Amino acid sequence: MGGSSSAPANRISLQLDHTLIPQADPRPGKQDTTYHQTIVTSVVLRIETPEEGFQVTGSARFFLVRGDVPLIPAELIARGFRPDAARWYIQRWDDETAGSPAASALAQDARDARPLRAQPAKYFTWCWIKTLYR
């Protein structure tokens, strides 16, 4: 099912780099790699709908926290989650993607078939597509 006025996707593919290399978290107070790490990975996200296609490329930065550090919400504790130094959680995710000009052109062609309305020129990002399909 599509979100709001968006058609459902026929196909979605997400590729992340296979080599995930943890690094020190650069944020103040989080440089101890025992508890905090960051991973930057390349991202290729493709979404095809009957009306248009999107391609998002770039990087995603994941800030990780070791599983015995954060407060675990009650609903997760009820499902059996406990503090665990062998588990890592994504504490924050920064979208560093930028859509391709080809994807923007495809989307513009699809919009041209609809009633005219002002649209800002933009490249698609992963976060932008997430808001489209809420």
Q: How is the chain split into domains, by residue range?
A: 11-132
pLDDT on residue 107: 47
69-127 tens-digit pLDDT: 998 899 999 999 999 999 999 999 988 887 545 445 544 544 454 444 444 445 567 66
HEC readout, the chain: CCCCCCCCCCEEEEEECCCCCCEECCCCCCCCCCCEEEEEEEEEEEEECCCCEEEEEEEEEEEEEECCCCCCCHHHHHCCCCCCCCCEEEEEEEEEEEECHHHHHHHHHHHHCCCCCCCCCCCCCHHHHHHHCC
Give tens-digit pLDDT for 7-52.
Answer: 788 999 999 998 999 999 999 999 999 999 999 999 998 888 888 8
